[in-house]
């Protein structure tokens, strides 16, 4: 539960009004609020003190429609199941707004992203480029409407860096074979991690921009969204669907909601098993890796049986799903799940009795509860640090209110806790799918009326395997006016600093992996020894080997 439980909707509204915010719309699960720039920080602070989590912020160019740039800060009250969307209007000529990072540390990245992509300047904070590459020309903002999706401005000339005698051979981070490269610089003192610096966004694909372009339609974005993540893509496709359908007021038939929920849980099962295998591999237990993935393979087959594809299910459409499930598919799914459960139960006993798994995971990479909350971490990372947060319970969507399941909670905050949360969740997910398939109602799978009026807004969230995935949409004509995606890893990576500082270097790979970033991305780190001043680049697996 959040820090100060006992807040009510009314109290939130009252507090917002007291601070001079204007409530523009009250929906079932979302308050749309406008605030002036000068009170933004007060409002953010008081929401945070009332127990709100920070979800993300969204920069949006609304010059064509309202004459302003806009910044949306999205807060949420888990125990009320309530989103609060604060909109600040920012004049085009002086596009500057006070930052809220002092009050809400979790806003760090998304503010920088809004600065890069939309050209909103922030005061009260240091700024630097986050998403755009260093050689991107100044003053060109890709998410402004006057920037065409297919234009390529000539790169800015950068001064050549002076070369030292000692040169690190940069083999990363642009690893051609891996999706989502990330890059960490770990500063060490002897064997201890002193600090870590993360550089990401090397493969920013401009998906949000593409989704606004003439090139795509509402219908195409399901396929685009599904390709945001190489592991849990269906989450994004569903989250986009939920946001769009909520904004447009489309009533999705119950059966479609059940099918979507089933596939989301199948995806969680395969994702957690994949991760568990990778953890075994990092800890040098490759036999465990093989067997976890052997069991996981059955989850992939189930996905193929249900959707026609192992990974990119492609079943969503505006207002429902494209094809129905029949009895044969359901029966096969249930059989496979039974086998997965048996095999995983048996194998788990073995895995957890391997000495290096327990000893290397317990007590390492600890994320204290207070840090977890300040950074608004999500998913298994939050639940392993004692924060009871699960979108499926807090903001029930699709068919999750129809099934009973437990949210595993551990308080240790270490790597072992993060392993156990996911292990427990595999079993819960199997039970969820069983209940859903048992209860699935008959009926149509696609809404009759599928009109999408322009300029409607909505926030939707889904509990992805890695935590809360948030999509924000402003509808347009034929395609979204603005579509913002905040994947869970975005929220969790900043917590790595808290987990790694002061810990032994050898634990770093496991800890980095423990937040379950799409792992192959974290392939390379730079180790900089502060004592000798020596700089070496290593593979994470080298580190794991000692």
Partner 1 sequence: MSYVKLLRVAAKVGRVTRKYPAEGSLVTEYFRGTIEIDPAMCWGCGACALACPPNSLTTKVEGDRIVIEYFIGRCIFCGRCADVCPKEAITITKNFEHASKSLEDLKYRVIHRVSRCSRCGGPVGAEEEVRNVSERAYPVKASLDLCPSCRAELLAEALAKYHPRRSR
Closer of 59 and 288 to partner 1 (Cβ) = 288
Confirm or reject binding of residue 314 to partner 1 (CB under 8 A).
yes
CB of 219 to partner 1, least distance (A): 8
Question: Per-residue contact track with partner 1, 317 to 346, x per CB under 8 A?
Answer: -----x------x----------------x
Rounded CA separation 395/80 (Å): 8
CB of 213 to partner 1, least distance (A): 13
Question: Per-residue contact track with partner 1, 194 to 233, x per CB under 8 A?
Answer: ----------------------x--xx--xx---------
Closer of 347 and 388 to partner 1 (Cβ) = 347
Closer of 187 and 223 to partner 1 (Cβ) = 223
Q: Which residues pair with 537 in a beta bridge?
A: 526
Rounded CA separation 61/209 (Å): 12
CB of 310 to partner 1, least distance (A): 8
Sole binder of partner 1 in the list 1, 26, 287, 455 (CB under 8 A): 287
Query: What secondary structure letter does DSSP report for 131?
Result: S
Query: What secondary structure letter does DSSP report for 37?
Result: G
Number of other residues whose CB lies within 10 A of the CB of residue 36: 13
Confirm or reject binding of residue 187 to partner 1 (CB under 8 A).
no
Confirm or reject binding of residue 242 to partner 1 (CB under 8 A).
no
Closer of 38 and 220 to partner 1 (Cβ) = 220
**306 close to 263: Cβ distance less than 8 angstroms:** yes
SS3 462: strand
CB of 250 to partner 1, least distance (A): 19
Cβ partners under 8 Å of residue 204, min gap 6: 131, 132
Residues numbered 384-423 forming contacts with partner 1, rule: CB under 8 A: none
Which of 282, 128, 105 minimizes the C-alpha distance to 199?
Answer: 128
**410 close to 417: Cβ distance less than 8 angstroms:** yes
Q: At what angle do helices 233-248 and 254-282 cross, to 10 degrees?
A: 150
SS3 215: coil
> What string of DSSP letters covers 413-444?
-SHHHHHHHHHHHHHHHHHHHHHHHHHPPPS-
Rounded CA separation 539/534 (Å): 16
Sole binder of partner 1 in the list 291, 296, 422, 457 (CB under 8 A): 291
Confirm or reject binding of residue 301 to partner 1 (CB under 8 A).
yes
Q: Which residues pair with 58 in a beta bridge?
A: 72
Residues numbered 352-371 forming contacts with partner 1, rule: CB under 8 A: 353-355
Closer of 6 and 308 to partner 1 (Cβ) = 308
Confirm or reject binding of residue 150 to partner 1 (CB under 8 A).
no
State the residues that interact with partner 1 by CB under 8 A: 216, 219-220, 223-224, 287-288, 291, 294, 297, 301, 304-306, 308-309, 312, 314, 322, 329, 346-347, 349-351, 353-355
């Amino acid at each position: 539960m959040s820090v100060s439980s006992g807040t009510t909707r009314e109290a939130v509204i009252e507090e917002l009004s007291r601070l001079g915010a204007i409530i523009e719309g009250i929906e079932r699960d979302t308050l749309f609020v406008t605030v002036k720039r000068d009170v933004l920080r007060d409002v953010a602070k008081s929401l945070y003190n009332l127990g709100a989590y920070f979800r993300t912020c969204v920069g949006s160019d609304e010059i064509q429609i309202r004459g302003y740039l806009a910044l949306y800060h999205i807060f949420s009250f888990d125990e009320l199941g309530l989103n609060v969307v604060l909109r600040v209007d920012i004049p085009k000529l002086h596009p500057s707004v006070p930052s809220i990072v002092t009050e809400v540390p979790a806003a760090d990245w998304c503010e920088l992203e809004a600065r890069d992509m939309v050209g909103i300047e922030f005061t009260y904070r240091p700024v630097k480029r986050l998403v755009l590459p260093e050689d991107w020309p100044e003053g060109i903002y890709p998410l402004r409407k006057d920037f065409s999706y297919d234009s390529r401005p000539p790169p800015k000339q950068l001064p050549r860096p002076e070369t030292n005698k000692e040169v690190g051979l940069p083999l990363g981070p642009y690893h051609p074979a891996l999706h989502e490269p990330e890059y960490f610089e770990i500063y060490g003192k002897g064997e201890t991690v002193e600090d870590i610096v993360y550089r990401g966004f090397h493969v920013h694909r401009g998906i949000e921009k593409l989704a606004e372009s003439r090139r795509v339609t509402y219908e195409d974005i399901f396929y685009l969204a599904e390709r945001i993540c190489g592991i849990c893509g269906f989450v994004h496709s569903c989250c986009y669907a939920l946001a769009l359908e909520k904004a447009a007021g489309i009533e999705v038939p119950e059966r479609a909601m059940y099918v979507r929920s089933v596939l989301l849980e199948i995806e969680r099962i395969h994702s957690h098993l994949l991760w568990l295998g990778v953890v075994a591999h990092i800890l040098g237990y490759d036999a465990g890796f093989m067997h976890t993935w052997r069991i996981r393979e059955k989850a992939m087959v189930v996905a193929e049986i249900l959707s026609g594809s192992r990974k990119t299910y492609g079943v969503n459409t505006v207002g429902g799903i494209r094809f129905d499930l029949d009895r044969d598919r359901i029966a096969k799914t249930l059989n496979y799940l039974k086998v997965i459960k048996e095999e995983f139960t048996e194998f788990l006993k073995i895995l957890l009795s391997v000495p290096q798994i327990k000893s290397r995971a317990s007590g390492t990479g600890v994320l204290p509860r207070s840090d977890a909350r300040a950074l608004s971490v999500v998913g298994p990372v939050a639940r392993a640090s004692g924060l009871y947060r699960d979108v499926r319970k807090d903001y029930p969507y699709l068919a999750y209110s129809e099934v009973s399941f437990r949210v595993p909670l551990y308080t240790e905050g270490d790597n072992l806790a993060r392993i156990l949360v996911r292990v427990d969740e595999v079993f819960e997910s199997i039970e969820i799918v069983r209940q859903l398939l048992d209860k699935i109602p008959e009926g149509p799978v696609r809404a009759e009326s599928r009109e999408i009026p322009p300029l409607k807004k909505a926030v939707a969230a889904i509990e992805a395997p890695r935590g809360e995935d948030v999509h924000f949409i402003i509808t347009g004509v034929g395609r979204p006016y603005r579509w913002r995606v905040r994947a869970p890893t975005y929220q969790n990576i900043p917590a790595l600093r808290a987990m790694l500082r002061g810990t032994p270097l050898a634990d770093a790979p496991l800890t980095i992996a423990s937040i379950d970033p799409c792992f192959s991305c974290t392939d390379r780190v730079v180790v900089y020894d502060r004592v000798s001043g020596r700089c070496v680049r290593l593979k994470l697996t080298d580190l794991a080997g000692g």
